[in-house]
Amino acid sequence: MTIDRSLLQTEKQNPNTIDIDKLSISEILKIINQEDSTISASVQKVTPEIKRTVDLTIAALKCGNRIVYIGAGTSGRLGILDVSEIPPTFSAPSEWFTGVIAGGREAVYKSIEGAEDLPQNAKRDLDKIGLRKGDVLIGIASSGTTPYVIAGLQYGQQLGCATVFLLCNPTPLEKYGFDVIIPAQVGPEIITGSTRLKAGTATKLILNMISTTTMIKMGKVYGNLMVDLQVVNKKLADRGTRIITQLTNLNYNDAGNLLQDAKGSVKTAIVMNKKCCSLIDARELLEKYAGNLRAIIGDISA
């Protein structure tokens, strides 16, 4: 199928930035900021589709399946970025979220532009990470036309995965039969065709919404506190200690000692304090309630 890319919103010339090269630095910065300020409204319009996606991701994780991002270029890198942040932020198992990028690991650091035009590689790459029935496969492609991503989603359909397509064009995709289509239409780019800009920002916002909401509903957050935190450096030790002081009557030093007794697990430390129990008992309670801290200690004003 031949695609006329001149018809894509992300490839059109932006009338607001036609003479951007004539502007002063301050004027360029102002116009970039003005264009970026429209992105939030574009994302807001697709929140129903994002909600449907989160319903799928939560259901998949609860059934022992995974969420897999697949993309090329900037889209693929943004998927990899989101995946890499989830384990340290939420102490989530690394297998919960996985990222696949056209061109492989090298493409994360270096542009391999031709990789997106090789749809046959999508099946190979998804087989390599063990994609299986029940997983949620989220394809990311600003244009909505990337052969590698579309082929990957179609392969996911064959396996019995839930399929989600995140794009930044109003391209009609009903014919593919994907479970969810998220068309975040941000309009023409600041620099014609440079989808690392507005489209990339919209993509990052949406991936943040998907993964963060999923983790909240998987019991990784108490209120707005990052309680499922595993201390692996001084910054996280300080953050974890402060969270414990907020949810208990302990001072900073005592909270730090309790965190050490809990083997660096903030959530475990809080259960030990609130339930007056041992490390082993706290771990058993967390296992019983699937890590849901609120189910164990109830409501506490932080």
Compute the average pLDDT of residues 167-181: 82
Rounded distance between C-alpha atoms, residue 247 and residue 231, angstroms = 17
Tally of domains within the chain? 2
Backbone angles phi, psi at 153, to 5 degrees: -65, -40
Write out pLDDT tens, residues 15-48. Answer: 889 999 999 999 999 999 999 999 999 999 999 9
The CATH number given to whatever domain includes residue 244 is 1.10.8.1080
User: Which pLDDT belongs to residue 282?
Assistant: 97
**Nearest-5° angle of CA 96, CA 102, CA 106?**
90
Question: CA quadruple 148, 84, 133, 171: dihedral positive or negative?
Answer: negative
- Half-sphere exposure of 63 toward its Cβ, with a 13 Å CA cutoff? 15
Same domain for 171 and 71: yes
Q: Which of 209, 218, 217, 214 is nearest to 67 (CA)?
A: 214
Q: Which amino acid is at 24?
A: S
| Within a domain: 169 | yes
Structural domain containing residue 148 = 5-217
Confidence at residue 224, expressed as pLDDT on a 0 to 100 scale: 92
In this structure, the answer to whether residues 194 and 249 fall within a common structural domain is no
260 within domain boundaries? yes
What are the residue numbers of the active site? 85, 116
Domain boundary residue, one of 190, 217, 244: 217
Average pLDDT on 51-57 reads 98
Query: Is 223 part of a structural domain of the chain?
Result: no
Could you tell me the pTM of the whole model? 0.90
Same domain, 201 and 289: no
Average pLDDT, the chain: 92
Q: What is the pLDDT of residue 11?
A: 73
Other CB atoms closer than 10 Å to residue 124's CB: what's the count? Answer: 10
Buried b (16+ CB within 10 A) or exposed e, 73-107: bbbbbbbbebbeebeebbbbeeebbbbbbbbeeeb
**280 pLDDT exceeds 90?**
yes
